[in-house]
Amino acid sequence: MRILVAWAGDVSPNLGVRALGRGSADLLHSVWPDAEIEFMDFGARPSALPWGRARSLVRERVTGRAGMMEWLRGFDLLWDTRSGDSFADIYGIDRHAKMSLVHEFAVQAGVPAVMAPQTIGPFGTRRGRWLGRRNLRRSKLVFGRDPISADAASGLGRPVDATATDLVFGIAQPAPGPQRDVLLNVSGLLWRASDHVDHEGYRSSVRAIVDGLLAEGREVTLLPHVLDSRDPDNDVPVSHELQAEYDGRIGLHVPADLDDARTAIAGANLVIGARMHACLNALSTGTPAIAMAYSRKFRPLLSALDWPHVVSLAEEAEVSAAVLAAAAEPDLADRATQTQAAGQRLLATIPPRLEAIR
């Protein structure tokens, strides 16, 4: 059994993408213990897939010069993660098109395609909806990771086979690292000007949260969740910048890898983060997390896990006050343990459905 896990892996600087890769491998091996798994992502592009632009893939489908179709035919299953939240056109139609074409051409090569648990939508363009509809209808199985995604799939004419949750809940529990109080993940994506949020407002909120926590006598340690790379949206530079700004009053832990991050998170009392997988890594280890949400993907997923501590950067009038109030809740640890168990139960609904396509 050879499985192609698309848009996740173990080398991306984005630890959320690595969590999707690890969770995918663990889940797939629970069904097919001897399966050979190959990861494919923007940081690990096979030579047979010339996806510099969407039209490059179309040209390869016509000419066959790189051997794309032969390469795809070597797999028995496509496990399409879409990086968890990229089955949408909010990150640009070109990204959506490239991912959708790989899915389409795998199906044309005779490979059964499964849409792994992920956010489905939103699709704001006619082309985006058409691509989404086609991929869904051509998939052997479709899993949403929240009820809103399930509704989006139904609206495109292909209901999900199950609503599960994020794959991070399938990763083995890490041993807790050194005791820390609050780990704060600051997003390099949001720190810079972007279409997601008002970056100046985000910067002000982050500083107000740090100030508020320090005033309450809490220890704050910055935790990048997208590691240093040539991508300017990574979390490491802003974390160094903030630590310097606070002149040693806050700590910094730059993880070496996913395991290091999860170990650090498991040893913390609380995680506050704008990277969703920083929060999901926390909840999957039983550590409370307060999510600073910049898109639709946060609230439906966490609500389905009965986790209420989501602060919308776009809708909340006083973001820092809302985050600090949530951080002071007395039952966070007990509730996080319940959420961890709920995530594991939801994810357990997937293997029996995969067994049916053996």
Residue span of the structural domain in which 16 resides: 2-163
Report if residue 172 sits inside a domain: no
The C-alpha atoms of residue 151 and residue 160 are separated, in whole angstroms, by 9
Number of domains in the chain: 2
Shared domain check, 230 and 124: no
Interval 285-296: pLDDT, tens: 999 999 999 988
CATH number at residue 286: 3.40.50.2000
Q: What is the pLDDT of residues 131-170, one digit of tens each?
A: 999 999 999 999 999 999 999 999 999 999 999 999 999 9
- Note whether 134 and 222 are same-domain residues: no
Q: Are residues 96 and 131 in the same domain?
A: yes
Question: Is residue 195 located within the same domain as residue 335?
Answer: yes
Judged against a pLDDT cut of 80, whether residue 358 lies above it is answered with no
Task: Report pLDDT digits (tens) over 167-184.
Answer: 999 999 999 999 999 999
- The answer to whether residue 358 sits within a structural domain is no
Give me the CATH number covering residue 93: 3.40.50
Helix (H) or strand (E) holding 148: helix 147-155
- Is the residue at 99 inside a domain? yes
Between CA 156 and CA 137 the distance in angstroms is 9
Domain boundary among 128, 163, 198: 163
Whether residues 269 and 204 share a domain: the answer is: yes
Q: Alpha-carbon distance 126 to 162, whole Å?
A: 26
C-alpha span between 20 and 26 (Å, rounded): 10
Let me know: does 292 contact 302? Beta carbons within 8 Å: no
Q: Looking at the domain assignment, is residue 348 inside a domain?
A: no
Final residue in a domain of this structure, among 103, 137, 163: 163
Q: For 296-319, what is each residue's pLDDT tens digit?
A: 889 999 999 999 999 999 888 899
Mark whether 195 and 307 lie in a shared domain.
yes
> pLDDT tier at 265 (50, 70, 90 boundaries)?
very high
Same-domain pairing of 37 and 62: yes
- 133 part of a folded domain: yes
CB atoms within 10 A of CB 178: 10
Strands laid side by side in the 268-273 sheet:
251-252, 220-222, 180-185, 268-273, 289-293, 310-312
* 85: in domain: yes
pTM attached to this predicted model:
0.92
242 and 153 in a single domain? The answer is no
* Judgement on whether residues 155 and 210 belong to the same structural domain of the protein: no
Q: Which residues of 108-121 are buried (b: 16+ CB within 10 A; e: fewer)?
A: ebebbbbbbbbbbb
Report how far residue 332's alpha carbon sits from residue 339's, in angstroms, rounded to the nearest whole number.
10
Shared domain check, 271 and 218: yes
